[in-house]
Structures are given as structure tokens and as C-alpha cells.
Structure 1
Amino acid sequence: MRSAMAKHILVKTKAEAEVLKERLANGEPFARLARRFSMCPSRKRDGDLGEIYPGQLVRPIEQVIFKKALLQVHGPIKTQFGYHLVVVYFRN
């Protein structure tokens, strides 16, 4: 079965997500920003979502996780929860 591993940061606004994406582009560690700013409980694991299988997450996030390039920051991605920045670090 297909699976992937990803981490993310969830914030309330697109503007917040864009500022964090810029900070990531300037070299700030994803884990530190996730712990400090993410609203998701995964913040306790540096934003790590663990192993993900199709059907576990909302569609816009799964589309990124299973179709976009590895090791790049994707987003902001809007869902009913807020705005996400996503990095996929493994996919089989």
C-alpha cells in the first residue's frame, strides 16, 4: 500500500503562512517554526504527521503529499482547518 511521511505547519491565515514560508526559505528550521507557530497537535513532534496512507487526511493536503515534489515546502494550502505548509520527506 502506498504511504508517505510528511510534516506541516498549520496557521489561521494565509498571511501567517506566507511569512513562515519566507522564514523557511531564509533558512529557519522547520521544526522550530512548527513548534512555535503551528495550531496542530503535531507541533509537539516538530510538525511531523508520521506515516500517512491515502484517505487519512483532507483532500487538498493528500494531493500535495502524494503528488508534489519531495523535500520542498508546499503551500499555503487552504483547508477548513486553516492554512498549511507541507514538506513531504518520504514516499513509496
Structure 2
Amino acid sequence: MPIAMARHILVKTAAEAEQLKARLAKGEDFDTLARRHSTCPSRKRGGDLGEIRPGQMVKAFESAVFRKPVNQVQGPLKTQFGWHLVLTYFRD
């Protein structure tokens, strides 16, 4: 079973997610932006969600984690919780 490590930034609007994604593309730090802007309790850990296994997250989020390129910011991605920017990396 695959295991992924993921971080995310959760915000209320697509526009806010797009603005943060543009800042990330310009080189701003994911950890710092997550701590300042995310509405998820994981913001205290820079958006770190730890280990994720298939079946643990909502479908749209899980698809970004397990089906999109790693080490690239995915999103904005809409779920019932809001708009996410997701950064995934796989453990060895």
C-alpha cells in the first residue's frame, strides 16, 4: 500500500488559493504561507498532514496526493472544507 507525505494550505476562496499559489511559484516558503494563511489546524505544523494512505482523505484531495506529480504544488483543489494547495512527497 502506498504511503504519501503531504502538506496543504486550506483557505476559503479560490482567489485566495490562486494568490498563494502565485507566491509559491515566485519562491515563497510553503511552510511560512501555511502558518500564516491556512485555516486548518495543521497550519501550526506548516500544513504538514503526516503520512497519508489511500482511503483516509476525501476523493478530490486523495487524487491530488496519489495521482499527481510529487514535489509540485497541486491546486487550487475544492473540497467540502474549502480550497486547498497540496504538496506531496513519497517516503522510500
TM-score, normalised to structure 2, is 0.96
Q: Is 2:11 aligned against 1:5?
A: no
Q: Is 2:35 aligned against 1:23?
A: no
In structure 1, what is the Cα distance between the partners aligned to 2:82 and 2:73?
A: 16
1:76 alignment partner in structure 2:
76
- State the 4+ residue runs in structure 1 displaced beyond 6 angstroms: none
Instruction: Say what the alpha-carbon RMSD is for the aligned residues.
Output: 1.0
How many aligned residue pairs are there? 92
2:51 maps to a residue whose letter is E
Displacement of 1:17 in angstroms is 0.1
Q: Is 2:65 aligned against 1:65?
A: yes
Correspondences of 1:28-47 after superposition (within 5 Å): 28-47=28-47
In structure 2, what is the Cα distance between the partners aligned to 1:40 and 1:19?
A: 18
Q: Unaligned regions of 5+ residues in structure 2, if any?
A: none
In structure 2, what is the Cα distance between the partners aligned to 1:40 and 1:11?
A: 8
TM-score, normalised to structure 1, is 0.96
2:21 maps to a residue whose letter is K
